[in-house]
Every structure is written in C-alpha cells, then in structure tokens.
Amino acid sequence: MQNEEQQPGYVRLPTPTDSGLDTPREPLSNLAAMLDYAAQGRSGFNFYSHHGELSHVLSYADLRTSARHMARQLLALKLPRLSRVAVIADTTPLFHQVFFACQYAGFIPVPLPAALFMGGADKYVQQISRMMRSCDASVAIAPRGYEDLLARAAADCPLAWSGGESELAALPAPDATFEPLHDDEAAYLQYTSGSTRFPRGVEMTERAVVCNLNEIADKGVQMTRADRLVSWLPFYHDMGLVGFVLVPLCRQLSADYLSPRTFAMRPRLWLKIISDNRGTVSSAPPFGYGLTATRLRVGSDTQKYDLSSWRVASVGAERINARMLARFSSAMQDMGFNPKAFVACYGMAECGLAISFAPLRQGIHVDHVDKEIITTTGRAEPVSGRGDDLELVDCGRFLPSYNWRITDDAGHPLGDRQCGHILVRGPSVMRGYFNDPESTAAVLSADGWLDTGDIGYTVDGHLYVTARSKDVIIVHGRNIWPQDLEQLAESCPGVRLGDATAFEITRPNNDPMVVIVVETKRPEPDLRRLISAEVSRNFGVTPHVELVPPKTLPKTSSGKLSRATARQGFLERVGWDAGGQPVSRSSLEGYG
C-alpha cells in the first residue's frame, strides 16, 4: 500500500506559521515539557534541500513521537543516567530526534560539528574523536554520509554503541519509563568554536537554558504567534541550536532550515525561503550578510524576492562590522528589506546564547570614537564621523536577569566609555566546562561571575564590544584591535571580505611584530606595500604582510577565522633572517 507521499499529485507542505496554541498557563521548566506542549499544535521544523526544495517536514507532534521511540532505544542500552550521547549535527531531522530523545531518556546530548572545512577529513576525524573523548561519550550517532567518518573517529573511543541512522533504526525499543532531564541537570554540552584554543564543552543546565530561552523570546525578540524563523546556521553552534531549534520550540513556532553548506554555495536560497514562507526572524554573523550581498544578481533577484516580512534580522559576532550590514541593506533595498530590522546582539555559548539585545525596530547604531585615544588610553571618546575614526556597534542593554560590570586588569570596575573586561553573572550562566575544572576556574569565579574573554565598554547601560582579550595587539603601549587591521586590508583591491587575519608575534630578539595574513587569488606586487602603508598611516605601526592562496587561513567549526591557529601556521611557514625579518620556508615562497 502506498503511503501519502507516494500518492499521485502529492505536494509536501511546510508546517503552518500559527501553531493554534495559546501560551501555556504555567511556565514550562524543561525542554521535554516544552516539546510535550508544542506537540499539541500544528507547527514544527522544515528542512530544505541543496536546490531549495522542501525535503523533510517534522512537526512537533511527529518529533515527540519519534524522539520518545528513540529514547526507548537508548534506554535499552542500559547506560547510567546523564551518559553523554554524541551526534554529528548535520541539518537533518535526525539531530532533533536524537537531541530530544536524550531529553526524555535522561541522557546528555552532545552536538558534534558537521563540517569538513577544518582542514580535511583526517583533521575532522581527529577533531570529533577528541571531542568524544573529552566528554566521555557512551554513544555516538552519525547521519547519512557521515557513517565512515564517525567509525574512524570512534575507533579509539570507549563507546557502548555507535553507528549510523539505519543502524540506530534497527535497535529494539522496549517499553520504558521516562524521567526527563530537569532543573540543575545538564540539558546538553555545547562545544565552543575553538577560535583561541581547543573547543571546550559548555555544560548548560535545564534551568539555565530555559531562563535564556524565555528572555530571548520575550525581551530580546518579543516573539508572537505570527513569527516564523528561518536559519542556515549550524546546529552545533550556539546561535543555531539555541536560537533556531530551542527558541522556536519554547514558543511553539515553525522554523525553516537550509544547511550551512547550501548557504555557502547558494546564499540567495536564504532570501527565497524568507520570501516564500514570509519569515519574520532570521540571524547571521556579519560575514553571512556580506556574502549574500556579494552573490546577489541585481535586477533578476530583486524582482523575485519580497523581504518585507523580515522584522528581526539579528546579528552577532565578537565585534560587528557595520559596513557589511550597510552593504546588505543597500543590496536589499528594492526587495522590501527594512534596515531597521537589524538587531545587534551579544552572547556566547557559556550563557546559552544571548547576553544583550539592541532595541527592536531601530536598526544599527554606530558609535564613532577617536582612534588615537582609544588605542592609547582605552577611552572611547566620541567624535563626529571623521574619516579616521573607529566605528563600534551598539549591542544594546543586558538582558534583565544578568548582573554585569566592566573591569580593568586588576578587577576594578570602570565607568562609562572606558574599555575593560566584560563580566556577567546570572541564572543563564553555564555550570562550567565539562570535566575541565581548570578551564572553568579560569573564567568563572566562586561567586558566579563569568569573565567573557571579551573587551568592551558601556554608554548609559548599552554595551559596545571591541575584541577578544586574547586577540588584542599591544605595540609600543598601544592597544590595537585585529578587526581594524583586517578591515583595512579588506578595503584594498583584490582582497575579499573575511580573507584577512591579523595577530601579534614575538621575534627572536623578543621584539613584537604585527602580522597580517591575506588570502588572494592574484598576489599583485604592490598589494603588500599598499596594505602595509594603510596600516602604518592609520595606526602608526608597520606590519609584516603575508599573501597566501585561497583556503590557507584556518577556520573554526562555526566558520570563523581562527587567529590563534593562523598565528601558529604562520610561524610554521617562516624562518628568520639575520636582521630579524621573517623569511618563507614553505612552498609559498614567492607568494608570501
């Protein structure tokens, strides 16, 4: 007998925007309870193919049924409560099913990267193998296409069970009593992106993530039943998992997905889905908006898409590049996109997702500050739009549950417009890094203050982020933020957005040196001199500029450039001449 999808004329439709449910009478205290409630409505998750076609529809009702079936399969393995279940988080329904099966079964899901751009298959296998060992996983599950990679990664791991989607489906599912994860038990482990060191497993409790979800939905985005979310962000990243899997769940909203790989190749499909489904909320880091703007076909695309429904275009990064957003706004102006939909925010996996939100319906606000003063004294002195100023984006007010402070290196509080370390405390802060008390103690104080690792300042309670503290370049007493050097390099002909990274090294004679590594297809002879001259003119330092072929710069699992790894790669590529200058000793000789 044919199933419904095999019937002639069958057309698959996405779940509706309106779930038909009212807000629950009582607050829902854990993720399993949220799915139980959402399953009473009509909304859910929708997955789109590489060609932009609707490939899978997973209503909350179907997700609850499949997750509870899978929970019985996992419980049949007779594992201790709170055992870790690692799952390669590709953009398929399997991830949602495993994640919520763990919620019902009392196991801790651990999303693993589904990305091969971290250096090829061998490095990817090493990466996920190390993650599985660091979280002491008992089970590992792979979606279709990743079975062999997982098998290689699992070879050195003491797992109770591992396998692919088809092998998992063959497991028995005897009757079982569920005791879902709750309160101060870990809801999941979220690995950090690893931009400065090996990724660490952030342990978020049910209580902590529920607090952050409710504040994002009610305070940050002000969700309503008319909202529909659209995302291409990976589920193993905090913005993808929390922002576009758990936030829609907590308000019973539908979400539409593209995979990150599809977005990278066909970013216009993101706009198509927003247009076709009347999406209202979608997010991206600055490079996502920049990439989409560069791939737009002026004329034909502007007639295809209607982006007037898009009311919240949130953007987050360690520091937001306002120029990329302006480029996006300009490219989308004939499609009904409202620049006031941009909402800058700040957050990190160590707090679930969100820490602050800029006001809705006001767009991006830029603080223009004096470059010389901020680099020499750390004070963000406002100026009126001079050509040599720094542009820093307002990330809004801290969410209500957080206490916060900006401090100097000694921990003393600083006033408005003085750059310092950003510290927060509140119910959404992580319990710690799993099985890593040393790393936990380095960032989380005994009384609950989290050192975010970021530098920033406030103005009337609004937060401005300048850089990661470990990335700050200090030369002759001046604090220079690498993003400013990277943006200068990217403004030069032949350099694309996101293809430059800057960092500091120490030469053999112990003198500091600023290095800028730039990817380019055509290493023009004058490009190095041009970049060096621009940096010298704007910041008074002369950098060493290395030109490298495309795909040389390392990226984290979330697609960000890793300055720490780029620095290590540079040091491996060069030697030093008698005058203390770097000399290439690799196959890049003559290109760098």
Condensed to tens digits (0 to 9), the pLDDT of residues 361-380 reads 999 999 999 998 999 999 99
378: left (phi over 0), alpha (psi -120 to 50) or beta: left
Per-residue pLDDT, 522: 76
> What is the C-alpha to C-alpha distance for residues 224 and 348, in angstroms, rounded to an integer?
25
Give the chain's mean pLDDT: 91
pLDDT tens for residues 148-174?
999 999 998 999 999 999 999 999 999
- What mean pLDDT is predicted for residues 537-546? 89
- What mean pLDDT is predicted for residues 450-461? 97
pLDDT at 558 over 80: no
- What mean pLDDT is predicted for residues 314-319? 88
pLDDT band at 4 (very low <50, low <70, confident <90, very high): low
- Evaluate whether 112 touches 128 at the Cβ level (below 8 Å): yes
- What mean pLDDT is predicted for residues 62-69? 98
pLDDT at 356 over 70: yes
- Evaluate whether 366 touches 465 at the Cβ level (below 8 Å): no
Percentage of the chain surpassing pLDDT 70? 94
Strand partners, 47: 56, 257
Per-residue pLDDT, 481: 83
Write out the two tokens for 161. 């069970």
- What mean pLDDT is predicted for residues 8-28? 88
pLDDT tens for residues 565-589?
888 889 888 888 877 788 876 544 4
94 three-class SS? helix
pLDDT band at 444 (very low <50, low <70, confident <90, very high): very high
pLDDT tens for residues 173-198?
999 999 999 999 999 999 986 544 56
pLDDT at 22 over 80: yes
Per-residue pLDDT, 1: 42
Write out the two tokens for 83. 């055992």
pLDDT at 518 over 50: yes
Helices assigned H by DSSP within 368-461: 371-377, 437-443
- What mean pLDDT is predicted for residues 111-132? 84
> What is the C-alpha to C-alpha distance for residues 574 and 256, in angstroms, rounded to an integer?
46
Per-residue pLDDT, 8: 63
> What is the C-alpha to C-alpha distance for residues 125 and 159, in angstroms, rounded to an integer?
16
Asked whether the CA dihedral 17, 21, 27, 33 is positive or negative, the reply is negative
Per-residue pLDDT, 6: 55
Per-residue pLDDT, 497: 80
User: Residue 183 — φ and ψ, nearest 5°?
Assistant: 50, -115
Q: Is the pTM of this model over 0.85?
A: yes
pLDDT band at 508 (very low <50, low <70, confident <90, very high): confident
pLDDT at 388 over 90: no
What the chain holds in terms of domains, given with CATH numbers, is 4-18+29-266 (3.40.50.12780), 366-471 (2.30.38.10), 473-584 (3.30.300.30)
Per-residue pLDDT, 242: 98
Write out the two tokens for 257. 């997905």
Pick from 31-45, 105-119, 280-294 the range whose average pLDDT is largest.
31-45
**Residue 117 burial by CB count (10 A; 0-12/13-18/19+): exposed, middle or buried?**
middle
- Which residues make Cβ contacts (< 8 Å) with residue 508, sequence separation at least 6? 576, 580
pLDDT at 592 over 60: no
Per-residue pLDDT, 515: 93
pLDDT band at 590 (very low <50, low <70, confident <90, very high): very low
315 three-class SS? strand
- What mean pLDDT is predicted for residues 68-89? 98
Per-residue pLDDT, 537: 87
Percentage of the chain surpassing pLDDT 90? 71
Write out the two tokens for 302. 């502007």
- What mean pLDDT is predicted for residues 528-551? 89
> What is the C-alpha to C-alpha distance for residues 489 and 555, in angstroms, rounded to an integer?
18
- What mean pLDDT is predicted for residues 8-26? 88
